[in-house]
Amino acid sequence: MLLYLPESPRYLLRQDKLEATVNILRKIYPYASEAQLHLKADVISKSVKDTMGHTATLVQTWKRLHLNAPNFRALVVACGLQGIQQLCGFNTLMYYAPTLFENVGFDNSLVIGLVISIVNLAFTLVALVIIDKAGRRRIACLTVPGMCGALVLAAIAFHFLTINTGGQLPDDGVGLSKKWNPVVLFSMLLYVAFYATGIGNIPWQQGELFEMSVRGMGTALATTCNWGASPSSLSLPRQRRRRRASLTLALGQAATSSSARRSCRSSTPSRPPARSASTPACASSARSSSSSCTPRRRACRSRRRARSSRTGTASRRPTACAPRRRRPSPRSAPRPTASTPRRLSLFSYTLSPTPL
């Protein structure tokens, strides 16, 4: 579509193309006379010449935008329109339409969400066609009250829909008055149609409200109000409660696991108790092993006992009373002498060191 878009009149006047500027203005104002078109071109040309040789700092532009009454009124209008666009609740409806209509009692909630999106696209195209013919202000003055009326109709429908459930909307739609379901759907479609025709498109024409010297800063501040007021991170109250419950459960499980780890660490001494000379090595080792026994070690020992009882053999792993026999290193092993026999492990028999 960019290939078919015409150049703006200001850009053409910067290039000294007056005739092309008048042709563009003739398309924008089809009912204006030639004198009015040339007068509009002269006004735009004067504004362009004033801004071409003027370079202002950031502070000067901010003062011109906020301290100049016409510019400040344009800023208030632009920021207000962007805030209304985000705070009217349209994003919440689009994000949670399948969940909402499933709770209302519709079987094909995804199909209904798709229908709402199609209505939004269709009336957006309608707005692009009529926005220059009908005017921005007239469309806004007609569609915003229409949105309010659609929301009032939806509130009435939800009141009678949940009259049997005490004003509560159940998750499965049990107990709802099914005859009010079409009214809810119609009110939502009407609300989306008014939104897409008016407030969904008009705030993005905000550049027309500002003069050239402050247009960049004005549109930036208005767009910041749009994203600052965006309720995209908000969720339905029921979903917020579910998220809070899941977060509480996760925190509880983490606290339980951390307390269990702390108890295991506290039950295992960092240093074994000192053994006195009168205490046998077997008893002291057995006492230390029983005191430092953790649930995992007890489970392993019970499995070894059960395995040994089934096979009828003793466990290969030595107990605490029978310490594991360490093999002496080659350096520390005593060398055989003439009086001591020498054992060759390769043939597993003993040879006498006596010479033949």
| Residue 211 is assigned to a structural domain of this protein | yes
Residue 25: count of CB within 10 angstroms of its CB: 20
User: Do 67 and 203 share a domain, yes or no?
Assistant: yes
Kindly state whether residues 131 and 184 are assigned to the same domain. Answer: yes
Whether 47 and 76 share a structural domain: no
Its domain, for residue 209, covers: 56-233
The Cα 182–Cα 185 span in angstroms is 5
- List of residues 6+ apart from 233 with CB closer than 8 A: none
Q: pLDDT value at position 186?
A: 92
In a domain, 166, yes or no: yes
Residue predicted with more confidence, 307 or 350: 307
Q: How many helices (H) and strands (E) does the chain have?
A: 14, 2
Who has greater pLDDT, 279 or 137? 137
- Overall domain count for the chain: 2
Specify the pLDDT at position 310. 67
pLDDT digits (tens, 9 = 90+) for 259-273: 555 555 555 454 544
Roughly what angle, to the nearest 10 degrees, separates helices 58-67 and 69-87?
80
The rounded distance, in Å, linking the Cα atoms of 9 and 19 is 10
Backbone angles phi, psi at 347, to 5 degrees: -105, 0
Q: Is residue 265 part of a domain?
A: no
Same domain, 27 and 148: no
**Tell me, what DSSP letter sits at residue 344?**
E
pLDDT, position 191: 94
226-271 confidence digits (pLDDT tens): 888 775 545 444 555 555 555 555 555 655 655 555 555 555 454 5
What is the pTM (predicted TM-score) of this model? 0.57
Report phi then psi at 32, rounded to 5. Answer: -85, 150
Residues 182 and 109 occupy one common structural domain: yes
DSSP 30-56: TT--HHHHHHHHHHHHHHHHHHHT---
Residue 121 has pLDDT above 90, yes or no: yes
Task: Tell me, yes or no, whether 293 lies in a domain.
Answer: no
Claim to verify: residue 34 and residue 151 sit in the same structural domain: no
Name the CA dihedral angle for 15, 18, 22, 27, rounded to a multiple of 10 degrees.
-20
Cβ atoms 53, 210 nearer than 8 A: no
50 shares a domain with 78: no
Could you tell me if residue 282 is inside a domain? no
Alpha carbon distance 356, 349 (integer Å)? 17
**Do 147 and 70 contact (CB within 8 A), yes or no?**
no
Beta strands (DSSP E) in the chain are 342-344, 349-351
Statement to judge: residues 3 and 80 lie in one domain:
no
Q: Same domain for 90 and 127?
A: yes
Q: Please identify, among 10, 26, 54, the residue that sits at the C-terminal boundary of a domain.
A: 54
Q: Quick one: 221 and 77 in the same domain? A: yes
pLDDT at residue 169 tops 60: yes
Token couple for 210: 């500002």
| 8 A C-beta contact, residue 232 and residue 95 | yes
How far is residue 228's CA from residue 347's CA, in Å, rounded to a whole number? 87
Q: How confident is the model at residue 113 (pLDDT cuts 50, 70, 90)?
A: confident
The model's confidence at residue 294, banded by pLDDT at 50, 70 and 90, is: low
Q: What is the pLDDT of residue 55?
A: 67
Q: Parallel, antiparallel, or unpaired: how do β-strands 349-351 and 342-344 relate?
A: antiparallel
DSSP letter (8 states) at residue 17: -
Residue 325 within any structural domain of the chain: no
Contacts of 317 (CB under 8 A, 6+ apart): 304
46-68 confidence digits (pLDDT tens): 888 777 666 678 888 888 889 98
Q: Is residue 197 part of a domain?
A: yes
Q: Over 70: is that where the pLDDT of 203 sits?
A: yes
Does residue 268 form part of some domain? no
Are 85 and 161 contained in the same domain? yes
Domain match, 80 and 213 both: yes
- pLDDT of res. 76: 93
Are 71 and 214 in contact by the 8 Å Cβ rule? The answer is yes
- Domain with residue 174: its CATH number is 1.20.1250.20
